Structure 1
Amino acid sequence: MQVFVRDNNVDQALRALKKKLQREGVFREMKARSAYEKPSEKRAREKSEAVRRARKQARKQAQREGLLPAPKKKTLARGRPSH
């Protein structure tokens, strides 16, 4: 993984690196490897993750086919800072 530092802006490069690591799932894997996970717990977790992915995929497909309304766009209120 590689992040370039532009104009000696290390803070911006660190934010970019953290975002890339988050997207790749490095932090989640580090947390998972920090403690032993019983095989039965691992199977249950993987099954629940698969169910979640399947539901998300079915929801996206239904939205594409017009069976479900598309998700609402988030709009920022004017003059108010976003958190």
Structure 2
Amino acid sequence: MQVLVRDNNIEQALRVLKKKLQREGVFREMKRRRSFEKPSEKRIREKSDAARRARKLARKQAIRDGLIAAPPRKAKFLARNQALPKTDGSRES
């Protein structure tokens, strides 16, 4: 994993690193490995994880098929896209 530090801004680089580690599931894995997990507990956890992934996949498929409405977009995302100037895709020099 690699994080670029720009203009000696270590705080921003640390935030980016933490976000990447969380996305990869490193923190979850560390928490799980702190103590021994019985095989029966492991089976139960893996079964519930699989069910969660299946529900998520089914929900995404239903949204793609138009069976359910997509969740509303976050205001931060919308504000950033509205602030950008609209272009027609052609480059003028």
Q: Same fold (TM over 0.5)?
A: yes
1:4 aligns with 2:30: no
**Whose RCO is larger (CA < 8 A, sep 6+)?**
1
1:57 is matched with which residue? Answer: 57
TM-score (norm 2): 0.77
Amino acid at match of 2:73: K
Aligned to 1:31: 31
Q: After TM superposition, which residue ranges in structure 1, 4 or more long, deviate above 3 angstroms?
A: none
Q: Offset of 1:9 from its aligned partner? A: 0.6
Distance 1:4 1:74, change over 3 A: closer
1:22 CA displacement: 0.6
Task: Spell out, residue by residue over 1:4-60, the C-alpha distance to the aligned partner (whole angstroms, 9 max, x if none).
Answer: 111011101111111111111110000000000000000000000100110111111
Partners of 1:56 and 1:15 lie apart in 2 by 27
1:45-82 CA-partner distances (Å, limit 9, x unpaired):
00001001101111111111111111122336xxxxxx
Distance in 1 between the 2:51 and 2:18 partners? 28
Name the counterpart of 2:75. Answer: 75
Q: Please, what TM-score do these two structures have when normalized by structure 1? A: 0.85
Which residue pairs with 1:80 in the alignment? none
Matched residues, number: 76
- Paired letter, 2:5: V
Match of 2:45 in 1: 45
Q: Which runs of 5+ in 1 are unaligned?
A: 77-83
